[in-house]
Amino acid sequence: MGVTQLEKHPSFPGVEGPVLVVVMDGVGIGRRDEGDAVWVARTPNLDAFPTLEGAVTTQLAAHGTAVGLPSDDDMGNSEVGHNALGAGCVHDQGAKRVQLAIESGEIFDGQVWKDAVARVKESGEPLHFIGLLSDGNVHSHQDHLHAMLRRAAEEGVAEARVHALLDGRDVGERSALEYVKPLEALLEELSTDGRDYRVASGGGRMTTTMDRYEADWSMVERGWKAHVHGEAERTFGSLSEAVQTLYDEDPKATDQFLPAFVLTEGDAPIGPIRDGAAVLFFNFRGDRALEISRAFTEENLDAFDRGERPDVFYAGMMQYDGDLKIPERFLVDPPNIERTLGEYLAKSGVSQFACSETQKYGHVTYFWNGNRSGKFDESLETYVEVPSDNVPFEQRPWMKAAEIADATLAAIEKGDAKHLRINFANGDMVGHTGHFEASVVAVECVDLQLGRLMDAIQEAKGALIVTADHGNADQMYDLMKDGSGYRRRPDGSLDVRTSHSLNAVPCHIWAPGRTLKASGVEGAGLANVAATVMQLLGFAKPEHMEPSLLG
């Protein structure tokens, strides 16, 4: 069924002014204690919503099955969160699709896997795996890598090399060895009967390979040199040796910021990528996989000097950009997300405005629109990207919140956009650093800008929805398994958490001058926001979308 013009809402004529959705990235509802930077922060504007006349305040599920992930033990993330916000319904997401494809054997029956195996059998070069080594299940999962390594061995692949990117962001900040040791044990187990399976290179995810939105191509360049050319400033004999040595050298070092390194035998790198090899990038999430995919596949890339580019068979776990066809080959089909909020509004002649800084720009555009690049209607849509600062986020926790608010206020004053959506990245990006005080400042900065937007919406006689895509700054320390309190390190300090939380997120809906009523939807999640936007604009939701949060 295609997208048609929306029908008028049967009982709600819509607000006079614009409808603005503010996504406070990484601002969930925590325990309201010493580990909750959102609660510790001074947030007079957020705190005011429950007291505003006619406003509706609720909370939304933003993780697990509510956003299409395999189980409710899986933390949400910005990609799936914005997919749900923009789609208005829940789709099976990357982690779940890959898990099912492996369990059913579909991934190995596919032509891309068969072609990769055939390529290395013919050439005698290794089968290379590059990706994030953890069980965070946000960008990747170690089980997927392990399953592919075992299958490669079963199918007679003689050599395999792993290029391991270390996490410390979606999992514990110094947890790398929890994933490194099982991988090394598996590779040793598989290196029998003439097989040679080893780790070849690595580095922290925030220094090596996994840049996004072209914020820092030097990360990709460092990864390219280490993975492809076997070149890095640091060399080690094994992956566990690399991690332990870097820990010992700097007791404050965390996995995500460990430098790029190469593993060597004697003076020679263990696994440079050469002509005839096959390379599988095993991350399923797209934003931090696009640039390295372009480096392997794009003929005239000028972002950095690749040197001699090897002739390899390259494939992603999924296709990371369906419109740009990056990469052309992929192992598992991505979710097919159609009939989104943005497309319906464009079809109905509603002008739209989307804005964030570089770190989250793709989330209010590409992910919001169902993993679609570009606009539905150039004449009706305005997208504004505010360039992010290329500095550690804890050093400037205010990030670009003020500039995003400036651009949004200008759009509201201009009056060209009937629906606006913006993302404040602070709570997530600063929360990921594990720096508590900076995270408090980050949340306070968002709240300050929120106050400016509230004034503008009131003056424009519009409506405002304030929510988040997942939690993060609301849980800055790891909880004990029984939930009784926070874990402590041997020195007595709290065990810092740098990953997203499993907490629900707030949702405040306010139309100054109107009395709104909650619909009482049970188990509401992020997918309920799209229909709520439509109702505030005076439209009835399409049948396939989750119901509005308003009665």
CA contacts within 13 A on the Cβ side of 38: 28
Element (H, E) at 86: helix 78-87
Catalytic residue among 78, 134, 175, 201: 78
- As a dihedral over the C-alpha atoms of residue 407, residue 412, residue 413, residue 418, rounded to 10 degrees, the angle is 140
Three-state SS for 360-397 is: HHHHHHHHCCCCCCCCCCCCCEEEEEECCCCCCHHHCC
Does the annotation count 493 as an active-site position? no
- Running DSSP on this structure, what letter comes out for residue 471? B
Angle at 394 between CA 388 and CA 396, to 5 degrees: 50
Separation between Cα atoms, residue 164 and residue 269, nearest integer Å: 15
Q: Quick one: the chain helix, strand, coil %, rounded to 5?
A: 35, 20, 45
Cα 191 to Cα 145, 187, 195: the distances in Å are: 16, 6, 5
Element (H, E) at 535: helix 529-536
Angle at 264 between CA 258 and CA 265, to 5 degrees: 155
Would you state the structure tokens that stand for residue 477, as one six-digit string?
């320390």
From the list 10, 8, 136, 119, the residue with the least C-alpha distance to 70 is 136
Separation between Cα atoms, residue 30 and residue 44, nearest integer Å: 17
Residue in the block written with tokens 């997919």: 83
From the list 23, 27, 41, the residue with the least C-alpha distance to 438 is 41
From the list 407, 513, 427, 542, the residue with the least C-alpha distance to 476 is 427
Among all residues, which ones are annotated catalytic?
78
